[in-house]
Amino acid sequence: MLGGGWFLGHAVAHEAMSRGWEVHVFNRGRTGAVPDGASPVHGDRTIAADLERLASAGPWDAVVDTSASELAPRDVLAGARVLERVARRYVYISTVNAYRGWPNESLTEGSELLDGPPDAGADYGRLPADWTGPDWHYGRQKAGAERAVTTVYGLGRTSVLRPGVILGPREYVGRLPWWLRRASRGGRMLAPGAPEKTIQPIDVRDVAAFALDQAVADSGGAYNCVAPVDQATMSDLLTACVLATGGHAQLIWASDKLLLNHEVRQWTELPLWRTHAGVWRIDSTRAQAAGLVCRPLADTVADTWAWMTEGGTPVEHPRWAEHGISPEKERAILAALGR
């Protein structure tokens, strides 16, 4: 495991040990907690000597890489070169942001990826400060990191997983926790867009299970790790939040137009609300055919609330503060609805 102490990495390590696997977890040991039973190897992926020390703890059947979200492709490339000597397969967790068409177009694994060389530095593709379009810098970095792994391991020994939004216990971004806390306050609760709009978040534990299945697969490939297009709606999500927290909130739906008129920031002020045509139109049938199973969204919501109320706390992260609309702004929009 590259990572293993935060959210997805912790879920992967926990699931691997539940399968009876021997797990080594490589991270800096500064945040999060390595699951009991895993063997920690502390080090920094950007330091060559630390990578060599990690390799000396092998060999392994597979590497599962969940900690490269802020690494430049060239750093992923360096790590893959060292680990190729001691690990048979490499499972790289990428993102749908690697597609040029996200979030404006429907996507399959055959959709065009963004440019991003395997040896690119952290500044490759950086956008102007006033850029308001898709986050192509992050996507280019992730696409480059995908190419870094496949350059070393080859397509047959590499599995690339491209999740969209991952939810569940230990979430550190703050999307689902914000909705749950808002629902727990009760009262009239602003609900964004159309109730019947489909959404595709996936449970962290389902991504973890699929990643481990790929770690022992006989072939490689790329997979969109999102829930099926028709599995859940925005109404399903928010209704589950209300029910999980006691049923005291009343959903009041506001149209996209009204929310845009009130300059509500998409994706963050009302988490998971976005008007772009392709944001929730990602095909995952290839992953499902390979064994991806997505539990009901209501189960993810209920389990996350249980984790929160039982004292669970996420790793501190600056993205948490980005999420949520202020009570004053919510009241103003509810007043504009006149009901």
pLDDT, averaged in runs of 10, over the chain (339 residues): 91 96 90 83 94 96 93 97 98 97 97 97 92 87 98 98 98 97 98 98 98 97 97 98 97 98 97 97 98 98 98 89 96 92
pTM of the model: 0.96
Q: Which two tokens stand for residue 302?
A: 């209920």
| Residue-range definition of the domain harbouring residue 159 | 8-337
In angstroms, how far is the first alpha carbon of the chain from the final one? 51
C-alpha 131 chain-centroid distance: 23
Query: 3 lies in a domain?
Result: no
Rounded to whole angstroms, how far apart are CA atoms 46 and 122?
A: 12
- Phi and psi dihedrals of 195, rounded to 5? -55, -35
Counted residue by residue, the chain has a size of 339
Query: 244 lies in a domain?
Result: yes
Query: 324 lies in a domain?
Result: yes
Rounded to whole angstroms, how far apart are CA atoms 215 and 204?
A: 17
Q: State the pLDDT at residue 132.
A: 78
Do 89 and 150 touch, CB atoms closer than 8 A? no
Query: 1 lies in a domain?
Result: no
CATH number at residue 115: 3.40.50.720
Q: State the pLDDT at residue 34.
A: 80
* Residue type, position 228, single letter: P
Residues 6+ apart with CB under 8 A from 204: 7, 8, 11, 166, 167, 168, 169, 170, 171
Rounded to whole angstroms, how far apart are CA atoms 140 and 118?
A: 10
Query: 163 lies in a domain?
Result: yes
| Helix residue ranges per DSSP H, the chain | 8-18, 48-55, 73-83, 136-153, 175-185, 204-215, 234-244, 256-261, 285-289, 297-309, 327-337
Rounded to whole angstroms, how far apart are CA atoms 272 and 300?
A: 15
The 8-class DSSP code of residue 99 comes to B
Q: State the pLDDT at residue 233.
A: 98
Counting the structural domains of the chain, the total is 1
- Give the Cα-Cα-Cα angle 34, 37, 40 (nearest 5 degrees): 45
